[in-house]
A and B are shown apart, each in its own frame.
Chain A
């Protein structure tokens, strides 16, 4: 890259490393005159940077990162906690639901049994009443039937007596009654 200048350039140079026009002679990197200055300012710069970093910047960033890590860990723990509570709540809800369902079933069964019992009682009672009424009715019918037979016999006896009288005979009451009796039996 850089070539050494001829000697007349060096002769005119403002310093050892710069020619009279302000151009570089050779590589400025190798100019010994400037190295002390560069090294001095480099050391100053590095010390300043080191102090800034070690006193302010790095502890601060470390604190920020640690705080964020802490926050994330806390948030995760809290989320875990909330999740567990949600699961718990769901379980409690399901439990309550199951309880309510079984309770409802029990109540329904009870009500059904009670109603069945009442129904059975009512049916029994009704059956008994029906039986009593039927017996009464049968009795009444039997009475009526008996009454009707007696009436028929009287009518028949009367009629027979009358018929015998009309035919010119004298009706023997006992004979007529016997005849009617024997007819009715037959």
Chain B
């Protein structure tokens, strides 16, 4: 029972203490909400629930909070304006002024990731952004749309992104190869960075939570959970920020491919 997902050291502990149980990965299981075992394409699952809660959170934060349209904003409206200004400025500064039409897309991604990350920090919750399937789709969407935008705006000239005219001529083919590889690695690093960060943090918290069952090390374990939880709060925001800013960087490459 306890030998699902832990290393040899944990097994030893389990043998010694008897009650030590680790299930750090169980929190990531996708379950149908209304009974049944099979997870079909349209089954309402915990994924549905927590994504819907993220939508509700975004609605509350950006729509309900601004319903008063106050000139002098209240607290919640200030947060909405802050989020708006933060992402808008990021798009403008990183991707350039002509990237502002794409601001709603970046905002959508950022708000979804940041809300999902923070909702995932609630005890007993399900972190949708810890799944590679979710982050990979978002990263691929960014990758494909950026590539399409690049070709639509510059035609074949978009390929000059890979031909670094500032470099000496003999180096250019080699650099072009490196640039092309790095370009195609982008969606992979983009998605794994987010999912890996979220998954690792949550799994570590669960491992320390397992240790909390042992009276002797429980205080250390609870302290460690607290510390890692604080770190995870930071990571939740930073990973959403990183995802959004990388989207802007890729967008900049598509809009201004010439180095």
> Closest chain A residue to B83 by CB distance?
A61
Bound CA–CA A31/B132 (angstroms) = 10
A43 to chain B, nearest CB (A): 7
The reply to whether A45 and B29 form a contact with Cβ atoms under 8 Å apart is no
The answer, among B37, B40, B131, B138, for a CB contact under 8 Å with A14, is B37
* Residue B55 lies at the interface, judged by CB distance under 8 Å to chain A: yes
Q: Which residues of A contact B180 (CB under 8 A)?
A: none
Interface SS majority for chain A: helix
Q: How far is the CB of B184 from chain A (nearest CB, A)?
A: 21
For the side of the interface on B, what is the size category? 35 or more
A42-B128 CB under 8 A given contacts A15-B38, A29-B28, A65-B81:
yes
State how many angstroms separate the Cβ of B196 from the closest Cβ of chain A: 9
Complex-state Cα separation, A98 to B238, whole angstroms:
67
B80 within 8 A of A: yes
Complex interface bits, B95-124 against A, C-beta within 8 A gives 1, otherwise 0: 000000001110111011000000000000
Q: Mark B15-29, 1 if CB is under 8 A from A, else 0.
A: 000000001111011
A57 CB to closest chain B CB (Å) equals 4
* Top 6 A-B pairs, shortest CB-CB distance: A57-B62, A28-B28, A45-B51, A35-B133, A34-B30, A24-B25
Is there a chain A Cβ closer than 8 Å to B147's Cβ? no
Whether, in the assembled complex, A56 has its beta carbon less than 8 Å from a beta carbon of chain B, the answer is: yes
Total count of chain A residues near the partner, CB < 8 A: 53
Supposing A18-B29, A25-B4, A64-B66 touch, asked if A41 and B81 sit within 8 A by C-beta, the answer is no
User: Are B132 and A49 touching (Cβ within 8 A)?
Assistant: no
Question: Which residues from chain B sit less than 8 Å from chain A, CB to CB?
Answer: 1, 3-7, 23-26, 28-30, 37-43, 45, 47-48, 51-52, 54-55, 58-59, 62-63, 66, 69-71, 73, 77, 80-81, 84-85, 103-105, 107-109, 111-112, 128, 130-134, 137-138, 195, 199-200, 203
Q: How far is the CB of B87 from chain A (nearest CB, A)?
A: 10
Contact: A56 with B4, CB < 8 Å?
A: no
B199 and A29 within 8 A (CB): yes
Q: Interface of chain B, helix or strand or loop or mixed?
A: helix
Instruction: State whether the Cβ of A175 lies closer than 8 Å to any Cβ in chain B.
Output: no
User: Is there a chain B Cβ closer than 8 Å to A54's Cβ?
Assistant: yes
Bound-state Cα–Cα, A61 to B26, Å: 40
13 A–B contacts, CB within 8 A, in A order: A2-B5, A22-B29, A23-B5, A24-B25, A29-B199, A36-B41, A40-B41, A49-B111, A58-B103, A58-B104, A60-B66, A61-B80, A65-B85
- The minimal Cβ–Cβ distance linking A38 to chain B, given in whole angstroms, is 4
Instruction: Report how far A35 CA is from B41 CA in the complex, Å.
Output: 8
Chain B residues with CB under 8 A of A33: 39
Who on chain B is nearest to A9 by CB?
Answer: B4
Interchain CA distance A3-B199 in the complex, whole Å: 15
The residue among A33, A42, A44, A46 with the most chain B CB atoms within 10 A of its own CB is A42
| Known A24-B25, A28-B28, A61-B80: A50·B105 in contact at CB below 8 Å | yes
Please indicate the chain A residues that have their CB under 8 angstroms from the CB of B133 in the complex: 29, 34-35, 38-39, 42
Which has the most chain B C-beta neighbours within 10 Å: A1, A21, A71?
A: A1
Chain A residue, CB-CB nearest to B196: A29
CA distance A68 to B71 in the complex (A): 6
* CB-defined contacts of A9 to chain B, threshold 8 Å: 4
- Of B40, B70, B108, B199, the residue contacting A46 (CB under 8 A) is B108
Q: What residues of chain A lie closer than 8 Å to B199, measured between beta carbons?
A: 27, 29
